[in-house]
Amino acid sequence: MTLPPPSEALARDFVHFAVRCGVLRFGEFKTKAGRLSPYFFNAGLFNDGEKLGRLGEFYARRLLESGMAFDMLFGPAYKGITLASAVAVELARLGRNVPFAYNRKEAKDHGEGGVLVGAPVAGRVLIIDDVISAGTSVRESIRLLQAAGARPCGVLIALDRQEKATEGDKDVEWSAVQYVTRNLQLNVAAIATLNDLLQYLKSTDDPALQVFAQPVQRYRDRYGV
């Protein structure tokens, strides 16, 4: 199943929201790959009830818009835990009550024990996270879910950076999202992409943001897929 891209309205509203919350920042930031990026996305700054509730709305809208079929949600520790919880609450508000679960970083050897927490993991499980940087978190989630007898059915993220991944110190010709789609055979839906961010910067009336359109475009031209 090829997923439709996010609607222009949804992507634009999300980018505006992320900028307003300070989650999307502009300047010069060094990435894990050693690149100097003109923008930085930190989902950890959706850090109060109002922001998290609004974020859950965006995730739920994108999920319903994508048409992906699923039975439950899974949030990889740590950021995915809060995200999956927020999406589950919003889906229930919209009339679809679905279970969710998450994992611990280390297994618990007392009480209920184990690595997985929440609803019993079963059926088609949708993984919720903020971004996909290298696919490591997704691979670990797949391993945990399959070991529990469930079937990972897709990944829902906030932002697709549309950026070349790295192997060692070399760029490769595919992004982390493309790796998950092609090699792990999972559909990935993003609320917005780097292209949406660029479009926002080029169309905004805010001069303080307009100046970053060219640096982001140059970064996209150099490292984009």
Residues identified as active-site: 108, 110
**Closest C-alpha to 18, from 201, 213, 215, 207:** 201
50, containing H or E segment:
helix 49-66
Residues 6+ apart with CB under 8 A from 199: 12
Sole residue written with tokens 């520790």: 77
Contact, 165 vs 134, CB < 8 A? yes
What are the φ/ψ torsions at residue 87 (nearest 5 degrees)?
-70, -40
Dihedral sign (CA 58, 11, 164, 26): negative
Question: In sequence order, what are the residues at sequence separation of 6 or more whose Cβ sits closer than 8 angstroms to the Cβ of residue 159?
Answer: 18, 41, 130, 131, 190, 191, 192, 193, 194, 197
Q: Helix axis angle, 49-66 relative to 8-20, nearest 10°?
A: 160
101 beta partners: 74, 118
- Run of H or E including 17: helix 8-20
